[in-house]
């Protein structure tokens, strides 16, 4: 149990009174990469949002443990401070809030420590370079006027700068062209390289997983996990689709 990071214990969740997730259980250990696949509307994004504590979704059953502690009732910021992270499927635009000062501010809130400007700026520039982001984006308003691809890169930039212990990537590959998928994938690999960083990658596209190490694959259908396997399951779904699980 020493290596267990996240325990999802029989979680059911509803949005606007309608139950989307039914009795979902899943354990994620330190350093592991899990993939969550499933047809549209299966509840994949709901699970990501429930794990992060989006108040729109109500936990109707079960519990979520992080480091063995029950975080089911904690707000999103507290979960983030514990080291959780969610890369949004549709990152929001916040006018007047510059990307770089936002990340720095968030880092400061999360770690409770001052973040030295010079070092921060160096890290930020290096990470943006890794992600093929134009340095001018650092001073732009958070996601405002960013293309779909730049928004996703902005999420991975935040991931690498925040350096959480567990990250949920919600369809980070959707709407990206081939080159952008490659870049984002490199960013994720960079995160995997770091010690103990765990991942839950939500996708219905195998492309982004090609160059990533995957430990487990789960298939979610109609709010239930119907199959768990290793990396080869991704390939199988790529060939045969979800038909067999319906």
Partner 1 sequence: MSNDYIKDKPIDVSTDTDRILLDGVERELYDFVDEEREEDFYRINEGLTEEIVRKISEEKHDPDWMLEFRLKSLKIYNELEMPDWGPPIDGLNMDNIATYVRSKSNMVNSWDEVPEDIKNAFDKLGIPQAERESLAGVGAQYDSELVYHNVRKDVEESGVVYTDMESALTGEYSEMVHEHFMKLVPPTDHKFAALHGAVWSGGSFVYVPPGVHLEIPLQSYFRLNARGAGQFEHTLIIVDEGADLHFIEGCSAPKYNTANLHAGCVELYIRKNARLRYSTIENWSKNMYNLNTKRAICEEGGIIEWVSGSFGSHESYLYPTSVLKGDRSHSEFTGVTFAGKGQNLDTGAKVIHIGKNTSSFIDTKSICKSGGISTYRSSVVITKSAEGAKASVNCGSLMLDNISRSDTIPAVDVRTDKADVGHEAKIGRISDEAVFYLMSRGISEAEARAMIVSGFANPVSKELPLEYAAEMNNLIKLEMEGG
- Binding segment for partner 1 (CB under 8 A), chosen from 2-10, 23-31, 93-101, 175-183, is 93-101
Q: In whole angstroms, what is the distance from residue 200 CA to residue 38 CA?
A: 14
Q: Which of 1, 118, 178, 246 binds partner 1 (CB under 8 A)?
A: 118
The least CB distance from residue 239 to partner 1, in Å, is 35
**Taking CB under 8 A as the rule, does residue 76 contact partner 1?**
yes
**Taking CB under 8 A as the rule, does residue 54 contact partner 1?**
yes
Token readout for 75 is 């707000």
Contact indicator for 46, 163 with CB cutoff of 8 Å: no
**Pure H helices in 18-135:** 44-52, 76-82, 99-111, 117-130
- Binding segment for partner 1 (CB under 8 A), chosen from 14-22, 62-70, 74-82, 180-188, is 74-82
Task: Give helix then strand counts, H and E, for the chain.
Answer: 7, 12
Q: Which of residues 17 and 96 has its CB atom nearest to partner 1 in the complex?
A: 96
* Residue 34, beta-bridge partner list: 200, 216
Work out whether strand 166-170 and strand 33-37 pair parallel, antiparallel, or are unpaired. Answer: unpaired
Q: In whole angstroms, what is the distance from residue 65 CA to residue 146 CA?
A: 35
- Binding segment for partner 1 (CB under 8 A), chosen from 22-30, 97-105, 180-188, 209-217, is 97-105
The residue assigned the tokens 């199959």 is 227
Q: In whole angstroms, what is the distance from residue 70 CA to residue 68 CA?
A: 7
Q: Which of 7, 33, 158, 203 binds partner 1 (CB under 8 A)?
A: 158
**Taking CB under 8 A as the rule, does residue 105 contact partner 1?**
yes
**Taking CB under 8 A as the rule, does residue 97 contact partner 1?**
yes
Q: Which of residues 98 and 125 has its CB atom nearest to partner 1 in the complex?
A: 98
Q: Which of 100, 150, 171, 173 binds partner 1 (CB under 8 A)?
A: 100
Number of Cβ atoms within 10 Å of the Cβ of 119:
9
Q: Which residues bind partner 1 (CB under 8 A)?
A: 52-56, 75-77, 79-81, 85-86, 88, 91-98, 100-110, 114, 117-118, 139, 141, 158, 162
């Amino acid at each position: 149990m020493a290596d267990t990071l996240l325990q999802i214990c029989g979680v059911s969740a509803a949005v606007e009174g309608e139950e989307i997730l039914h009795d979902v259980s899943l354990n994620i250990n330190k350093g592991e990469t899990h993939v969550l696949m499933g047809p549209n509307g299966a509840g994949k994004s709901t699970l990501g949002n429930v794990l992060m504590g989006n108040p729109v979704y109500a936990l109707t059953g079960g519990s979520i443990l992080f480091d063995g502690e029950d975080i089911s009732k904690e707000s999103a910021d507290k979960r983030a401070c514990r080291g959780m992270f969610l890369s949004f499927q549709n990152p929001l635009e916040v006018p007047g809030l510059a990307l770089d000062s936002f990340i720095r501010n968030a880092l400061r809130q999360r770690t409770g420590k001052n973040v030295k400007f010079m070092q921060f700026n160096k890290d930020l520039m290096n990470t943006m370079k890794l992600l093929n982001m134009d340095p001018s984006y650092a001073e732009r308003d958070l996601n405002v006027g960013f293309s779909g691809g730049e928004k996703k890169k902005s999420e991975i930039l935040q991931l690498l700068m925040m350096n959480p212990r567990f990250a949920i990537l919600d369809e980070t590959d959707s709407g990206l062209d081939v080159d952008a998928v490659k870049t984002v994938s490199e960013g994720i690999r960079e995160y995997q390289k770091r010690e103990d960083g765990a991942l839950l990658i939500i996708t219905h596209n195998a492309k982004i997983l090609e160059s990533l190490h995957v430990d487990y694959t789960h298939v979610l259908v109609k709010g239930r996990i119907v199959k768990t396997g290793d990396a080869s399951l991704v390939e199988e779904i790529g060939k045969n689709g979800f038909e067999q699980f319906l």
